[in-house]
Chains A and B, each alone.
Chain A
Amino acid sequence: MAEPEQTAPAAKDDLRARQANGVWSRLRESDLGYSFVRHPSAIFAAALLGLIALSALLAPWITPQNPYDLAALELWNSEIPPIWDERGQLPYLLGTDVQGRDMLSAILYGSRISLIIGFASVILALSVGLTLGLIAGYFGGWIDNVIMRIGDILLSMPFILIAILISAMATASLPPSLKSALAAPILIFAIAVPSWVQYARTVRASTMVERRKEYVQAARLIRVKSWRIMLQHILPNTLTPIMVAATLNFGLAILSEATLSFLGVGMPSDQPSLGTLIRFGNEYLFSGLWWIVVFPAVQLCLIVVSVNMIGDWLRDALNPKLQ
């Protein structure tokens, strides 16, 4: 440990502090940060989404009730309207459903499931799409043909139809004991399958351009391995359009999950996502229990609107034509 640094610990700390400081100021002074600060709608959307995500993640600690714990539900507490109604009761701020489940707790737990499934399916689609797109664009030839034809076939069927079929088929072929446990992974997969193609096409197109540039030729000349050229040199140069697509697809994934759950081919009733909650509420539409359906619907819309507002801002901010 007799390195020269030891002789000047103060200088090292100073450097570290300046580096840490540098990350923040660099972020603030970057084009993206500059644009962010000047767009109140983007700031508002980010704050809203952050608040929703935080409350969803902290749901087990801040909600008055665990909505999955059937023992905690009391039937005499059922169908209580929201707190501002004269029949409202504490602690049920947004009222309860027909089983006595606190709506606020159910919504926060449901948002958690919706956000996790949306996020995971985007990550899955991204990793498959980026990998296949890089391979197709870099190597070309028959492998490019195979990957892109599979993509064409997927794009020739409507997105929602593919997701419904995969989810329904996978659930039908499972033994009943596994259905509930595997519902979330199946949904993630069902939403990722039709969405990787867009990433693959985008990355393939930019890879085909980058491949011919001199820095790639140079890397090849000194025998850098193919996968290393793809991952370290080409990939970072293709990411800008991918960032926008991934943000907008995050909103789309949450919407798709909610739609599938609403149709009854998504999350089961013992671990309800926002879509499942809306499906329950839909059955009581004519009995005057409007709060069972309206609050989960509002939460779903708030999430997707804020994601799309961020995506919209990002698309304009990263568009070189608009700068």
Chain B
Amino acid sequence: MLAFLIKRTANAFFVMLAVAFLAFLIFRSFGDPVEMMVNEQATQEDRAALRERLGLNDGFLTQYVRFVTNAAQGDFGISYRNQQDVMVLISERFPATIELVLVATIISLVVGMPLGVLTAVHRNSRLANFLQLGSIVGVSLPSFVVGILLILAFSVSLGWLPAFGRGETVDVGWWSTGLLTPSGRQALILPAISLSTFQITLVMRLVRAEMLETLRTDYVKFARARGVPRARVHWVHALRNCLMPVITLTGMQIGNLIAFALVTETVFQWPGMGLLFIQAVTFVDIPVMAAYLMLVSLIFVTLNTIVDVTYAWVDPRLKDDSAKAGAANG
């Protein structure tokens, strides 16, 4: 077990080194950091001094090692666009994205699981077929289209909910939360729904597939034979045995949701990391792009590694690597 843990961690470490290499390449190939940082009046000597101070005259490998060491300490330099420390910029935006993703995840579980159970239990009924068709539509709807349609319906036509921004926020330590104010909660509703549509259908389809298998097992038949009410068998006994894959999927999807939140954040002008990243892309603000890329990849890789290790711990057969080829799919 320890060997497997070390192997997985080392693997994740090398993947992060490779991602850092990509980020570093982007850094080196686009724009001259010196030109971005000095003002108009800077003399040739000032520039040369800054170049020397930033270590841009060193060899490729030295610079890469320095980039990785700095990145590991959370130092990504200064944003080209607004001259602030990149890590400060990102950590200001971090709570907004995480709150959005967590609420979307909760919605997807609360809505997706009952729908999955319903479609499995009433298999081939009209309701189940309708929901099954609905799940294809849910997978196919682009999240920005969902967002735009929600804004059109609930903000423009009905005027019930705000269409952009995060409302009022309250600081709890360094974490600024919108969950504690009425306007913050209202502002969260539409973005969270639009981010969760895809996830709802994923959860629903997974629960349906798992339930169909579970309903065939003997213990379910036995529970019915013993006189346990049908609803209790379905919603308690059977559903509980479908939860493990759902938890795994939810865990692994959080990384994807964080990345995909950038689309939702653009539609709703939600002040999270994703919006920061998209603005950085338009201005070719490389330090911010590199930091975001590395942070999201780190979350992604960490979650995948945790899932892998937990699985190997639960089911020792999976320590054999070949058994889980193709387990992770973006």
Contact = CB atoms under 8 A, between A and B. Distances in A.
Contacts of B260: 158, 160
A52 to B, nearest CB: 14
Interface in A121-153: 152-153
A262 B266 CA distance: 9
A140 to B, nearest CB: 12
A87 to B, nearest CB: 19
Given A155-B328, A156-B15, A286-B156, A165 B136 contact: no
A204 to B, nearest CB: 8
Given A158-B255, A158-B330, A160-B259, A285 B19 contact: no
B67 interface: no
B156 A165 contact: no
A156 B136 contact: no
B318 interface: no
B20 to A, nearest CB: 11
User: In this complex, which of A156, A160, A300 has the most chain B Cβ atoms within 10 angstroms of its Cβ?
Assistant: A156
Nearest to B282: A264
A49 interface: no
A297 B145 contact: yes
B289 interface: yes
Contacts of B26: 165, 169
B148 A293 contact: yes
A301 B140 contact: yes
Nearest to B129: A41
Interface residues of B, number: 47
Interface in A173-224: 173, 194, 198, 201-202, 205
A263 B149 CA distance: 17
B284 interface: yes
A168 B285 CA distance: 11
12 contacts: A153-B15, A153-B18, A156-B297, A158-B296, A173-B30, A258-B142, A259-B143, A263-B278, A285-B151, A300-B145, A301-B142, A307-B140
A304 B304 contact: no
Contacts of B136: 305, 308-309, 312
Contact of B300 (A158, A173, A297, A312): A158
B187 to A, nearest CB: 16
Given A156-B304, A157-B19, A285-B151, A168 B263 contact: no
A34 interface: no
Contact of A285 (B30, B145, B152, B263): B152
A278 B293 contact: no
10 closest cross-chain pairs (CB), A and B: A158-B259, A159-B330, A304-B140, A305-B140, A297-B145, A168-B281, A153-B18, A156-B15, A308-B140, A201-B326
A251 B68 CA distance: 37
A202 B140 CA distance: 23
B300 A156 contact: yes
Interface of B: 15, 18-19, 26, 29-30, 133, 136-137, 139-145, 148-149, 151-152, 156, 163, 255-256, 258-260, 262-263, 266-267, 278, 281-282, 284, 289, 293, 296-297, 300-301, 304, 325-326, 328-330
A263 B284 contact: no
B206 to A, nearest CB: 15
A91 to B, nearest CB: 26
B142 to A, nearest CB: 5
A144 to B, nearest CB: 12
A282 B50 CA distance: 43
A38 B88 CA distance: 59
A290 B281 CA distance: 29
B263 A297 contact: no
B151 to A, nearest CB: 6
Contacts of A159: 256, 259, 330
Contacts of B256: 158-159
A4 B151 CA distance: 75
Given A169-B30, A286-B156, A304-B140, 11 more contacts: A152-B15, A153-B15, A156-B297, A164-B281, A173-B30, A258-B144, A259-B142, A285-B156, A297-B148, A305-B137, A308-B136
Contacts of B263: 160, 259, 262-263
Given A161-B293, A168-B281, A301 B19 contact: no
A305 B30 CA distance: 39
Contacts of A165: 26, 289, 293
A273 to B, nearest CB: 12
Contact of B296 (A161, A168, A258): A161
Contacts of A153: 15, 18-19
A282 B148 contact: yes
A172 B145 CA distance: 27
A158 B256 CA distance: 6
A172 B284 contact: yes
Given A157-B300, A161-B293, A205 B267 contact: no
A201 B141 CA distance: 27
A265 B151 contact: no
A255 interface: yes
B141 A301 contact: yes
A188 to B, nearest CB: 18
Interface string A273-301: 00000100110011000100110010011
B29 A173 contact: yes
A256 B63 CA distance: 34
B255 to A, nearest CB: 7
Given A263-B266, A308-B139, A278 B148 contact: yes
A152 B16 CA distance: 11
Nearest to A296: B145
Contacts of B137: 301, 305
Interface string A240-271: 00000000000100010011001111000000
